[in-house]
């Protein structure tokens, strides 16, 4: 082997040692996705509230005093006229006794004057007394009759005051709160108990100023009550004309048309307004890519697992959901996680995917 051949072999070996290894193909990036589904007029946004009775009585004693008996507990079912609590009645009993004594005296005086007027009428006929004297006796009789009527009214007032020491339910219902304990001194008009009347049930919600038009324009409402299966149809019965001074929201009361016994007071409620048109599509907020004040979604081709970025317009955004005004259509599949790590045409791999999954719910 010549020196020239040997040098050539060394050069070839050096070049082979310095060459880079062949690039490995990029592994598909795993992604999660959802399939967009068309709405049915029910917006994805909801108003949180709770279930209350349409009529709730706020009961209080009409006189002040010390509570000596609490006769019901919260949650008790009461009938009309059933006693809920009692006040100490020592003072009212004494006052009633005094009024009745005065009434007895006034009635005795009236009887005496009625007997006298008969005698004086006979004396007047026999000219033993003057007409002026008889007139004075008639005036005394009229005064006695007035005193008796006043004493009777005072005795009735005392009896009423005695009855006010017992707090009773006006109508049948359920006791929702008791704000007095035995030994507590309450004043007249101080709230002591709340009784929710049996019958209609309502979902009470707080509506922000920006949502007033949507609530007013809704053709109906769908109410999801707690963890109960199914939904209830509702209708707007009342919308407060002015905002709450603290929360600056407007109270709305949605009457449940088909509420049954399973709908209990105090249950949580989600109220979905129903519009005339189809509701906008919704996606998890994590699916939206924001760049330079523009919004994008990554579409996933079901046949070739590659992603494509498309610009969309948002209708509105909540803490975890974005509603799409335009840019995509129902049936398209969008990526919901890792949107900042993708590029156009990149090959991806679905972790899991359920084409029938509800709108805006990330696959598990």
Of 1.50.10, 1.20.1250, 1.10.490, 1.10.287, which CATH number belongs to 90-163? 1.10.287
Instruction: Give the span between the Cα atoms of 289 and 11, in whole angstroms.
Output: 52
- What per-residue confidence (pLDDT) applies to 22? 58
pLDDT tops 70 at residue 151: yes
- What per-residue confidence (pLDDT) applies to 24? 61
> pLDDT tens digit string along 67-117?
999 999 998 999 999 999 999 999 889 999 999 999 999 999 999 999 999
Record the tokens describing residue 224, joined without a space: 């999801």
Lowest mean pLDDT among 12-21, 118-127, 163-172, 264-273: 12-21
Q: Considering only the top CATH level, what class is 47-54+199-274?
A: mainly beta
pLDDT tops 50 at residue 262: yes
Q: Look up the pTM and report it.
A: 0.55
- What per-residue confidence (pLDDT) applies to 129? 87
Using pLDDT thresholds of 50, 70 and 90, give the confidence band for residue 236: very high
Domain boundaries, the chain: 29-40+279-350, 47-54+199-274, 62-87+167-196, 90-163
If you average pLDDT over every residue of the chain, what do you get? 84
Instruction: Give the span between the Cα atoms of 211 and 47, in whole angstroms.
Output: 10
The secondary structure of residue 86, as a DSSP letter, is: E
CB 234 within 8 A of CB 223: yes
Mean pLDDT in residue range 145-163: 93
pLDDT tops 50 at residue 175: yes
The dotted CATH code for 29-40+279-350 is 2.40.420.20
In terms of residues, how long is the chain? 364
- What per-residue confidence (pLDDT) applies to 363? 33
pLDDT tops 80 at residue 59: yes
Q: Considering only the top CATH level, what class is 62-87+167-196?
A: mainly beta
């Amino acid at each position: 082997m010549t020196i020239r051949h040997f040098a050539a072999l060394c050069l070839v070996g050096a070049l082979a040692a310095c060459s880079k290894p062949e690039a490995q193909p990029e592994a598909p990036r795993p992604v999660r996705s959802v399939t967009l589904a068309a709405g049915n007029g029910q917006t994805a946004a909801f108003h949180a509230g709770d279930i209350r009775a349409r009529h709730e009585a706020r009961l209080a004693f009409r006189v002040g005093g010390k509570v000596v008996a609490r006769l019901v507990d919260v949650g008790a079912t009461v009938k009309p006229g059933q006693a809920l609590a009692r006040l100490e009645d020592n003072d009212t009993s004494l006052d009633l006794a005094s009024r009745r004594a005065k009434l007895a005296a006034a009635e005795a005086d009236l009887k005496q004057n009625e007997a006298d007027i008969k005698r004086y009428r006979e004396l007047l006929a026999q000219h033993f007394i003057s007409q002026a004297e008889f007139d004075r006796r008639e005036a005394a009789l009229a005064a006695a009759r007035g005193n008796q009527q006043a004493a009777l009214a005072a005795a009735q007032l005392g009896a009423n005051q005695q009855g006010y020491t017992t707090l009773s339910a006006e109508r049948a219902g359920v006791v929702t709160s008791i704000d007095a304990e035995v030994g507590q001194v309450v004043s007249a008009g101080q709230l002591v108990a709340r009784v929710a009347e049996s019958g209609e049930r309502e979902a009470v919600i707080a509506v922000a100023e920006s949502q007033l038009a949507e609530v007013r324009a809704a053709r109906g409402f769908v109410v999801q009550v707690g963890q109960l299966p199914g939904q209830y149809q509702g209708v707007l019965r009342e919308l407060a004309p002015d905002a709450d001074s603290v929360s600056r929201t407007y109270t709305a009361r949605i009457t449940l048309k088909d509420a049954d016994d399973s709908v209990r007071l105090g249950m949580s409620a989600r109220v979905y307004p129903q519009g005339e048109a189809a509701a906008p599509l919704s996606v998890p907020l994590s699916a939206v890519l924001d760049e330079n004040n523009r919004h994008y979604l990554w579409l996933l081709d079901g046949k070739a697992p590659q992603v494509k970025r498309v610009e969309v317009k948002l209708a509105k955004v909540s803490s975890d959901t974005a509603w799409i005004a335009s840019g995509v259509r129902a049936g398209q599949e969008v990526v919901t996680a890792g949107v900042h790590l993708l590029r156009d045409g990149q090959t991806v791999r679905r972790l899991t995917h359920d084409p029938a999954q509800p709108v805006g719910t990330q696959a598990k």
